[in-house]
Structure 1
Amino acid sequence: MIRRILAAVVLVPLMIAIVALALVNRHGVPIAIDPFNAGDLTHAVQVPLFLLVFGVLAVGVVLGGVGAWLKQSKWRRAARRAEWELSAAKAEVAQLKARLVDAEEEGRRWPPRALQRPAA
């Protein structure tokens, strides 16, 4: 409950500021596509300033997320290895339990199979 209230207290003013930024900065800004002649606006694209700012922010968030995902690869690899080791250990425990049951059954018989003579 407190988390929702805190989120509302932070997000509502942030959204109001974003909408105000978008309304104030609706005018077009030329973006030159030619990197060698920035003064030549014949190949420029007109984009509203708020779209340019939001687009740059979105690209930054995506690139940051990809960078964080790549940086965490060793932790994902360690988690996969731990899961594999856990499944192998569970299989080994199941096998040992089955052997224990067999050994207990063998202990109740007389003579044990190990001492019986093979049938000729």
Structure 2
Amino acid sequence: MINRIVIVLILVPLAVILIALSVANREAISFTIDPFNPGNPALSYSAPLFVWLFASLILGLILGSLATWYNQGKHRKLARQRKLEAELLRKEARKASAETQSTPNLPSLH
């Protein structure tokens, strides 16, 4: 319940701001990749400002996700190793349990 409230308190205002920004910035903006010849038509692209903003947002999300995924690789590897070890121990426990159940009870010598 609290998560929904937090999401609504963050996402709704963010959506309103993004929509207002998109409506206010519909003019075409030129984006040039060539710093030495800014007028080069082969390396210049025109689109509304909100398109560039959304593209940079998406690119940032992708790069951030990849960086996080890469940095958490050691944790995933450790989790895989521990999972294999746990499976091995479970198999050994089942085998030991089956062996104790299959051995006949010997009478005591008292």
Q: Normalised by the size of structure 1, how large is the TM-score?
A: 0.79
Provide the residue aligned with 1:113 in structure 2: none
Query: Number of residues paired by the alignment?
Result: 106
Matched, 1:59 2:67: no
Provide the residue aligned with 1:82 in structure 2: 82
For the 8 Å contact 1:30–1:41, the answer to whether it is kept is no
Specify which structure has the bigger relative contact order, considering alpha-carbon pairs within 8 angstroms and separated by 6 or more residues: 2
Query: Aligned pair in 2 of structure 1 residues 21, 45: CA closer, same or farther (>3 Å)?
Result: same
Q: Give the Å deviation of 1:2.
A: 2.9
Q: Normalised by the size of structure 2, how large is the TM-score?
A: 0.86
Separation in 2 of the partners of 1:33 and 1:68?
28
What secondary structure, in the 3-state scheme, does the structure 1 residue paired with 2:47 have?
strand
Q: Give the Å deviation of 1:35.
A: 4.2
Unaligned runs of 5+ in 2: none
Unaligned runs of 5+ in 1: 109-120
Report the identity percentage.
32
For the 8 Å contact 1:30–1:46, the answer to whether it is kept is yes
Q: Give the Å deviation of 1:87.
A: 0.5
Matched, 1:50 2:45: no
Provide the residue aligned with 1:21 in structure 2: 21
What secondary structure, in the 3-state scheme, does the structure 2 residue paired with 1:65 have?
helix
Q: Give the Å deviation of 1:106.
A: 5.5
List 4+ stretches of structure 1 deviating above 6 A.
none
Q: Give the Å deviation of 1:60.
A: 0.7
For the 8 Å contact 1:30–1:45, the answer to whether it is kept is yes
Give me the CA root mean square deviation.
Answer: 1.6
Q: Give the Å deviation of 1:11.
A: 1.6
